Amino acid sequence: MAIEKYLKKIVVLGTGGTIAGTAARAGDNLGYSAAQVGVADLLAALPGMADVLQGDTLVAEQLAQVDSKDMTFAIWTALALRVQQHLTQDDVCGVVITHGTDTLEETAFFLHTVLPAALQLRKPVVLTCAMRPASALSPDGPQNLLDAVALARTPGACGVMALCAGVVHGALAVQKMHVYRTDAFSSGDVGPLGFMEEGCLRQAKAWPLAVEHQATVSPEKIAGITTWPRVEIVMNYAGGSAAVVDALLQPLPAAAPLQGLVVAGTGNGTLHVDLMDALHRAEQMGVKVVRASRCGEGRVLPVAGSAFADSQGLSPVKARVALMLELM
C-alpha cells in the first residue's frame, strides 16, 4: 500500500511595496507607483513555482497594499496577528511576506520581537521585497519571491528573517544600505544567515534558539491599544543644539505627548553638549531616552557612568520600535 506524502502549506501575505509596483515605461525604475499588483497576481505570474513547491500548497492573502514608506501601526498589528494565527496551524510550515524595502527592517524587527512563536514552533517568517517594480525590464521581485518560498520550505529554518538578492538576513541585523542597487540590504559586521543558491539554502550561521529583545506585550494586547506611545528620533551632528528636542517637548493639539526619544549619536553614541543638556531636560519631564549610533555598523558599547541607556545593539529605527513596545 502506497504511503501518501504529507503535504505542507506556505502562506504568502501581501503588503504592497515596489515588488508590487508598476511604471508607465518598462525602463523606468524610479518613477513608478508602488503597491499596484495584488500578491495573487504576482504569484500567478511566477514561472518555476511548482518546482519550488514540490507538491506543497501555496496560499496568498492580501493583508495590505501600501508603499512601505507609509507603513502604519495598524498594518503592523494586523500583520502580527495574522502571522501568529498561521504559524500555529499544523499544516503551515512557513509564512512569506511581500513588503516594500523602505521600512522592511522595522517590520522585520517588530515581528521578531512580538512573535516568539516563530522560534518556539521552529517555523520561518520570511520578508521579501524588490528594488525594481514588477513592470521593469528585468524585475528582481520574481527571483526574490521564488527564493523566499524556497527558504520558507527549508527544513529547520525558523525565526523572522529577510531575503533580498539571494542573501538571507536576520531580523536583528538587517538594514537597507543602498538606495538603488538590487542587493540593497546588509547585515553589517554581524553577517548574513545564509545564501539562497538555485533554490537551496547555503547556511552561514545557525538559526537562533531564543528571541533577543522579546517584547513583553503580545499581538493581542497590542491590538487593544488605540494610541501607540509617541517615540521620536533625533540625531547628533556638528553644530547640534537643543532646538529639536525642545520643540518636540512642546505639546501639540493633534499629537500624543512625547514619551520616548532615541538619539542617533555620533560614533559610540556621543552627543553634543547642548543636545545632551536638552535630553536631560526631557528625562526630567518623564521622557525615556535611549542612546544609539548613526553609524551603519557596530553597536553602541556601554560606558560607565553614561547618562542614558544604550540601545543594546539596535539601530536607531529598531531602538524606536523596541522603546514603543516597552512603553506599552
Catalytic residue numbers, as ranges: 18
CA torsion through residues 196, 170, 140, 59, sign: positive
Query: What CA–CA distance (Å, rounded) separates 126 from 164?
Result: 10
CB neighbourhood size of 222 (10 A): 20
Nine-digit cell string for 252: 501639540
281's CB contacts (< 8 A; 6+ apart) are 242, 245, 246, 249
**For residues 209 and 119, is the Cβ–Cβ distance under 8 A?**
yes
Nine-digit cell string for 102: 523602505
- Residue found under cell 526630567: 284
Q: What are phi and psi of 283, to 5 degrees?
A: -65, -40
**For residues 191 and 205, is the Cβ–Cβ distance under 8 A?**
yes
Q: What are phi and psi of 95, to 5 degrees?
A: -125, 135
Radius of gyration of the chain (CA): 21
Nine-digit cell string for 302: 556601554
**For residues 123 and 93, is the Cβ–Cβ distance under 8 A?**
yes
